[in-house]
């Protein structure tokens, strides 16, 4: 495989906490042992024609491998999982179930979590915001309850670790700091189990280094 290039924030607003979606792509690349390059983009560059040709919505991450260009973190991870061993089971039915978990992560669990970010950061100053917030939180709790019940005391969602777990943990990471996982110790342990994987650690360190370097580059010189 041609060494792929992904895009990531030149300076992530999350301060290097691994919450931007290049993190999950880096993690998948590390899991399958595929070396990659990173092109850092600013918010301005993301909206310029060169980047829009790669990503119609002017976002990160993107993925370039030879003449293949992809956007959408889920699609990039599915591509990697299909091209390499290690992220999808060989058995066709188990593979289909793992893909179902990938879609459940981005299609069922992530939307209410994104809604919380919108409620807090984009709508926090609206007169109706305080009234809406509990509804948004309850929609997340409902999904966490359901997911927690299904996971039970298993390590991973369906047998061995798969791209379904990678995406699900990538999504759940976005609510760990809010305390929403505290009521679901098995989900908190599930996220911690994912974060303990060596591939996660390498990916996390790489994205943190980008943030740390961006601070250093900006530091006043004496
Ligand atoms: N569905 C797409 C995917 O999965 O790839 C969504 C891509 C997306 O939302 N990208 C965001 C982006 O480029 C970065 S990850 N935003 C810039 C823009 O739209 O102009 C979302 C994100 C951003 C910041 C934090 N944070 O600071 O905590 C967390 C997550």
Convert 43-95 into a string of H (helix), E (strand) and C (coil).
HHHHCCHHHHCCCCCCCCCEEEECCEEEECHHHHHHHHHHHCCCCCCCCHHHH
* Residue 176, domain CATH: 1.20.1050.10
pLDDT confidence of 107, banded at 50, 70, 90? very high
Instruction: Count how many domains the chain has.
Output: 2
Nearest protein Cα to ligand 1, atom 2: 72
Residue 45 Cβ inside 6 Å of ligand 1? The answer reads: no
pLDDT tens digits along 171-192: 999 999 999 999 999 999 999 9
Task: Establish whether residue 14 lines the binding site of ligand 1, counting it when its CB lies within 6 angstroms of any ligand atom.
Answer: yes
| Statement to judge: residues 97 and 173 lie in one domain | yes
Instruction: Please tell me the predicted confidence (pLDDT) of residue 124.
Output: 82
Cα of 59 from ligand 1 centre, angstroms? 7
Domain span at 158: 92-197
- Pair 116, 188 in one domain: yes
Ligand 1, atom 21, lies closest to the CA of: 20
Closest-CA residue, ligand 1 atom 30, reads 20
- Structure-model confidence comparison of residues 131 and 192, the more confident one: 192
pLDDT tens digits, residue range 36-58?
999 999 999 999 999 999 999 99
Q: Say what the pLDDT of residue 106 is.
A: 98
Asked if pLDDT for residue 219 goes beyond 90, the answer is: no
The reply to whether 193 and 203 lie within a common domain is no
- Asked if the model's pLDDT at residue 218 lies above 90, the reply is no
- Taking residues 185-211, report their average pLDDT: 98
Any residues with CB less than 8 A from the CB of 46 and at least 6 apart, and which? Answer: 55, 58, 59, 60
Mean pLDDT of 140-154: 98
pTM attached to this predicted model: 0.96
- Helix or strand (DSSP H, E) at 128: none
């Amino acid at each position: 495989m041609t060494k792929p290039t992904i895009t990531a924030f030149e300076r992530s607003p999350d301060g290097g906490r691994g919450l931007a979606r290049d993190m999950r792509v880096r993690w998948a690349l590390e899991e399958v042992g595929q070396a990659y390059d990173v092109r850092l983009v600013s918010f301005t560059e993301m909206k310029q024609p060169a980047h829009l040709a790669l990503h119609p919505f002017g976002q990160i991450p993107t993925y370039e491998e030879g003449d293949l260009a992809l956007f959408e973190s889920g699609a990039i991870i599915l591509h990697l999982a299909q091209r390499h061993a290690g992220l999808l089971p060989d058995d066709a039915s188990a593979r289909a179930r793992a893909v179902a978990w990938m879609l459940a992560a981005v299609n069922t669990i992530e939307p209410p979590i994104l809604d919380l970010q919108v409620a807090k950061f984009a709508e926090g100053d609206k007169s109706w915001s305080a009234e809406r917030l509990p509804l948004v939180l309850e929609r997340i709790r409902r999904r966490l309850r359901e997911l927690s019940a299904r996971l039970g005391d298993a390590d991973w969602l369906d047998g061995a670790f798969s791209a379904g777990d990678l995406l699900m943990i990538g999504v759940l990471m976005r609510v760990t700091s809010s305390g929403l996982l505290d009521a679901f110790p098995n989900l908190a342990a599930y996220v911690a189990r994912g974060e303990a994987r060596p591939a996660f650690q390498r990916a996390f360190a790489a994205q943190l280094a980008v943030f740390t370097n961006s601070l250093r580059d900006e530091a006043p010189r004496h």
